[in-house]
Every structure is written in C-alpha cells, then in structure tokens.
Amino acid sequence: MAQPFPVGFRYLPGYLNREQHQSLIETVKRVVITAPFFRGKMPRTGTPLSTLGSNFGPLGWVAAKSGYRYCETHPGTDKPWPAMPPELLELWEDVAEWSDDPQACLINWYREGAKLGLHVDADEDAKDAPVVSISLGDQALYRLGGLNRKDPTRSFKLSSGDVVVLGGASRRCFHGIDRIYSGTSTLVPKGGRINLTMRVVR
Ligand code: MD6
Ligand code: FE
C-alpha cells in the first residue's frame, strides 16, 4: 500500500485551470528573455545539473561548484532577477498558510531525460516557511520520502497545473523527480516540464 502523505504535505491536483497555467508559462517565457535559463552545477564536483534554471523575485537560488546559495543577481547577466509575478504572489497567499511573502521563485526546466535526485530543500534560513511548487507542461514522476533518506517513499505523477505544498512537519522531507513523461504536454515551447518553487529565504 502507498505510504500516507506526511503531515503538512499537500497535493492539490489541477489547482490551476488550463488558462491559468498557460498564462504562467507565458509569464515564464517573457521573463527568461531578460533572465535566461542557465545550467547549474553540483557543489564540489561541478557536475552539470540535468535541469536548467532561472528565478523570479528579490532572491534567486543558484547551484554552483562553490555551493548552493541565494543571490540577488543572475549569474550570467549580473542583473537583478525579474519581479515575482502578481499571480504567483496570489497563489502563495491562497495556499501557503504563511504570513510572509516568498522572496524567491525558482524556475526549473526539465527537458527529456532530466531528473532531480532525492533531496531536502535546506538552503533557506526561514526553516519553517513552506515551499509551494507548481508543475507546468509534461507530467513528472514525483517521489516523496520522510525526514530521513532511508525512510520509505511513495511516488505519484504530477501534471500541468498541479500544486504541491511542503509545509509544517513535511518541510524537511526528502523528495525528488525520477522521470519526465516527455511529450505528454505541448504547453512548454521546445517541450518538457517547468517547475516553479516559491520560498521564504530569510
Ligand atoms: C519539482 N522541485 O520539480 C520539485 N528543489 O516538482 C524541487 O524539489 C526543487 O525544483 C530544489 C530546487 C529546485 C527544485
Ligand atoms: Fe526540492
């Protein structure tokens, strides 16, 4: 039997309707003209990530050989990140159950074959604020574990418009993306899946 969801974890399938998630993809397309996708690297080894990233908001998450960090500027253009779109702030206010606004929204683009190993989001000083994640484009297989790497995991598919909240006791749960179901959506130009994750950082 599937593991139950940890307390504080919320899976909101189809939270955004088609018009809303299409419009978010348009917003991402506009933004990456000035804040282009870049390929982050694993700390220490410098191995390139299989996803491409960019950010909205005053702070952006950057993966570099020197470590993961939040920066005020894009590593390629040295310009501030584009502002957090109002529709994302609204979504945060509707689902986060948290009084502060998010300071960062990571944009992650998974093309065919991209994946994200089991990990905890732990680069934020605001340790209790939730992470709100939005799926756009191709479906993905999401894996959710517990607070320890060896805890049992459960997997389920995320589709375009689905929202996931890692809140409360689930904030430090392991999670990852095992695979992308390439070609299951035509919404993302050049294909693939875009994941937006909003965080309070400081
Ligand atoms: C997802 N993303 O793509 C989940 N974590 O559905 C993440 O867990 C994530 O995209 C840290 C940094 C970037 C991410
Ligand atoms: Fe994560």
Q: What is the pLDDT along the chain (202 residues), one digit of tens a residue?
A: 666 899 999 999 999 999 999 999 999 999 999 999 999 999 999 999 999 999 999 999 999 999 999 999 999 999 999 999 999 999 999 999 999 999 999 999 999 999 999 999 999 999 999 999 999 999 999 999 999 999 999 999 999 999 999 999 999 999 999 999 999 999 999 999 999 999 999 9
Q: How many domains does the chain have?
A: 1
Nearest CA to ligand 1 atom 8: 176
Q: Which ligand is the nearest neighbour of the Cα of 192? A: 1
CA 176 / ligand 1 centre spacing (Å): 7
**Does the residue 3 lie in any domain?**
no
Q: Classify residue 4: in a domain, yes or no.
A: no
Residues in Cβ contact with 196 at an 8 Å cutoff, skipping those fewer than 6 apart: 24, 28, 56, 88, 105, 106, 107, 108, 133, 134, 136
The pLDDT assigned to 4 comes to 80
Q: Which residues line ligand 1 (CB under 6 A)?
A: 106, 108, 116, 121, 133, 135, 142, 175, 177, 195, 197
Domain residues for the domain of 111 are 9-199
For residue 155, count CB atoms less than 10 angstroms from its CB and return exposed for 0-12, middle for 13-18, buried for 19 or more.
middle
- Asked whether residue 1 is domain-assigned, the answer is no
What is the structure's pLDDT at 176? 98
What CATH number has the domain bearing residue 37?
2.60.120.590
**Nearest ligand 1 atom to alpha carbon 106:** 13
Residue 1 has what pLDDT? 60
- Calculate how far, in angstroms, residue 77's C-alpha sits from the geometric centre of ligand 1: 23
Extended strands (E) in the chain: 9-12, 51-56, 60-64, 67-71, 104-110, 116-119, 131-137, 139-144, 154-158, 163-166, 175-181, 193-199
- Does residue 2 sit within a domain? no
